[in-house]
Chains A and B, each alone.
Chain A
Amino acid sequence: MADFQDFNLSCPLPIQQYPHVLLAHGGGGKLMHQLIETVFVPAFSNSLLGVRHDGASFAVGDARLAFTTDSYVVRPLFFPGGDIGSLAINGTVNDLAMCGARPLYLSAGFILEEGLPMETLWRVVQSMRQAADAAGVQLVTGDTKVVDKGKGDGIFINTAGLGIIEHSLAINPNSVQPGDAILLSGDLGRHGVAIMAEREGLEFESRIESDCAQLSGIVQAMLDSGIAIHCLRDLTRGGLTSALVEIAESANRQIQIEETRIPVREDVRGACEILGLDPMYLANEGRFIAFLPPAQAEQALAVMNAHSTDTGAALIGTVTDIARPLVMLKSRIGAMRIVDMFSGEQLPRIC
């Protein structure tokens, strides 16, 4: 009975404000972080979870492994540049890559809605197979559940992944050092705009395709060429901003970036101007930031660009020696300002 009493003793979540889960709690911004910090972390607290990285890294016997999981709930299921299947493989592969691990094995759990066309499921599964082949991972176990019509959105997929760490680097936010160069692997915001355009029926002059891609190859190439990576983070919900703020907070270091160095494609910028969105907060599915010694920045950029078919990677900023969990941006006209997370998702403005 003692176990049950504990449950009622305290409620750290400020429920007077949000007695229900809001969509914004899943937006990758502050509300989601509050949810994690007040509900999940206290419940499951342990040293591996405490690192707050994209996955957990640990030793089993002589081997160092990385383990991660992610769920995929995208609407529409198929969008320019990808679909929920490729997303479900690449997202989990990328989380392993961000731990500096070589992805080996994936699981997949499918929650299917009654009435889903078999043809749709088939297309998604084929896309998963292709993405898994490209990333060199095997899907070795799985699960399927079907829910009543109206209780799901076609397909929800969960994947978990296991990877092996074949180097002695500790790639996580705690390894970030003052003076570290911050590299961004390519242009920002295409996934977010592609999804929004497809979902809302917005039409632009050119079709903007998602940047959805696996990042394992590019990270392996960086490791193989001897770059002493300190930290990696892929940019998903919440965009570049959330990734930078999370790392600044974990490392307790002030980060400084320059607006003019951040690559954003013309069509994405145009869409953002029209909708009143900031590319710094848009979702990406094939981009990451790397923290590494400044002396290796040039070499790392060359490796990244050799792997990328898109707009090039860029050096966007540095880690300062100020012990303060803050991201500062030098604006286009030379003034400094704070970069902060949004509460939930960006909201298109009125005028």
Chain B
Amino acid sequence: MKFVDEYRDAEGAHALAAAIAEITTRKWTLMEICGGQTHAIVKFGIDELLPPQITLVHGPGCPVCVTPIELIDKAIAIAARPNVIFCSFGDMLRVPGSEKDLFVVKAEGGDVRIVYSPLDCLKIARENPNKQVVFFAVGFETTAPANAMAVYQAAQQGIANFSMLVSHVLVPPAMEALLSSPDCRVQGFLAAGHVCTVMGYTEYEPIAAKYRVPIVVTGFEPLDILQGVLMSVKQLENGRAEVENQYARSVRRDGNLPAQELVGKVFTVVPRKWRGVGEIPQSGFGLNDAYREFDAELRFELTDYTAEESAECISGLIMQGIKKPHECPAFGARCTPEMPLGAPMVSNEGACAAYYRYRRIKAQAA
């Protein structure tokens, strides 16, 4: 397939791996931010091509994984109500809340639907004027413009029976939180290409300077990731700490300005709790005052939810790159994709699910 096969070419991958091995003189630890990158690394076996001195740790960039359990419980509470059509992207449905997941709500009679775009919910809302249609708006900066557009259009078109349960999170504050932790062992970052497609990468420049870490905006195919690693290692070996753009075919320094403008119109930056990590100040989007009427938490009066995460789940350590999934005692035993203790075992892009699906045996042998 044009524009995909070129970036999965075996010869090219091995050439890049050789170039990385050639310039590497000591141990380096890099973190890929995005769950999509984690998935590609494990699915294609990209890390197996790297020299042993390079360690890739898997960052917090899976929106499913970092959504706090209270919010899942809120989603479940809304979805279980009569006269509600609860819409979500597919991979949120199997994330366990305190007691059940959205699939179970569906089996119990809740109207839970998988949608491919938040704009589909507006159509559903127009077709069902006597029902409340709620969209579970989860994601990083990548999905924010489409979600903003749905709210913006709902307001323009006066679709009053539509609302959104918002759990948007932002990458740069999470990176800062990681870097300022005393346990941090990450020396360089592969930033998430699609987040930067929307937001650009000017936000990362002060982080690279302040913490002296190279940050390479990186794509999602094997050759993208290997090239991102090569650029990061080159910087580390030369003692540089800059923001570079490997994913230039999609990302510009300023990002997508009309998308940012729309996001700014609808959302405001708020503190957010991250599952397994805790609250990070100014780390997410919430609906701003002008669009508060579309906030499902207010409309359904869901405040003061608290929930305990599984004490056994070490997802926080995994998403901070301190531990690898198979180092968790519950991995593959009490925690599997069928019976997940925490969200990283649920989502396709969760580090634990990726390890379980693609390298269970190796993890056992290790």
Contacts and interface: CB of A to CB of B under 8 A. Distances in A.
A20 B107 contact: yes
A349 B89 contact: yes
B194 A351 contact: yes
Q: Is the interface of A mostly helix, strand, loop or mixed?
A: loop
A266 interface: yes
B349 A349 contact: yes
Interface in B259-307: none
Contacts of B49: 333-335
Given A332-B8, A337-B42, A343-B338, A269 B107 contact: no
B107 A23 contact: yes
Nearest to B64: A350
B361 A326 contact: yes
B358 A333 contact: no
Contacts of B81: none
Contact of B108 (A20, A34, A269, A276): A20
Contacts of A30: 337-338
Given A31-B338, A347-B348, A350-B89, A337 B116 contact: no
A336 interface: yes
B338 A338 contact: no
A335 B44 contact: yes
A350 B91 contact: yes
Given A332-B10, A333-B10, A24 B90 contact: no
Given A22-B103, A276-B348, A334 B14 contact: yes
B119 to A, nearest CB: 12
Contact of A348 (B14, B114, B194): B114
Interface in A268-317: 269-270, 273, 275-276
Interface in A18-35: 18, 20-24, 30-31, 34
Nearest to B36: A351
B142 A351 contact: yes
Interface in B59-103: 63-64, 89-94, 103
A23 B14 contact: no
Contacts of B104: 18, 20, 22
B143 interface: yes
Given A332-B222, A335-B48, A347 B10 contact: no
B46 A335 contact: yes
Contacts of A348: 89-91, 114, 116
B44 A332 contact: yes
Interface in B98-127: 103-104, 106-108, 114, 116
Given A273-B4, A347-B348, A24 B48 contact: no
B112 to A, nearest CB: 10
A336 B89 contact: no
Interface string B1-16: 1001000111001100
Contacts of B189: none
B344 to A, nearest CB: 14
A113 interface: no
B240 interface: no
A347 B116 contact: no
A331 interface: yes
Contacts of A332: 8, 10, 44, 222
A269 B2 CA distance: 11
Contacts of B107: 20-23
A270 B5 CA distance: 11
A348 B348 CA distance: 9
B275 to A, nearest CB: 15
A350 B138 contact: yes
Interface in B12-54: 13-14, 36, 42-46, 48-49
A342 B90 CA distance: 14
Contacts of A34: 338
A21 B107 CA distance: 7
Nearest to A334: B10
B45 A336 contact: yes
Nearest to B12: A333
A234 to B, nearest CB: 24
Given A22-B103, A331-B44, A333-B49, A340 B8 contact: no
B234 interface: no
Interface in A318-339: 326, 331-338
A38 to B, nearest CB: 12
A200 B123 CA distance: 13
Contacts of B138: 350
A10 interface: no
Contacts of A333: 8-10, 13-14, 44-46, 49, 222
A17 interface: yes
A261 to B, nearest CB: 13
A340 B44 contact: no
A220 B282 CA distance: 67
A351 B338 contact: no
Interface in B335-366: 337-339, 347-349, 356-361
17 contacts: A18-B104, A20-B107, A23-B107, A24-B94, A24-B103, A266-B1, A269-B1, A269-B4, A273-B4, A331-B45, A333-B222, A334-B13, A337-B358, A338-B361, A340-B357, A340-B360, A343-B338
Given A20-B104, A22-B107, A347-B93, 6 more contacts: A20-B108, A23-B106, A30-B338, A273-B1, A334-B49, A350-B91
Q: Which 6 A-B pairs have the closest CB atoms?
A: A335-B45, A347-B90, A20-B107, A333-B13, A337-B358, A348-B90
Interface of A: 17-18, 20-24, 30-31, 34, 200, 202, 266, 269-270, 273, 275-276, 326, 331-338, 340, 342-344, 347-351
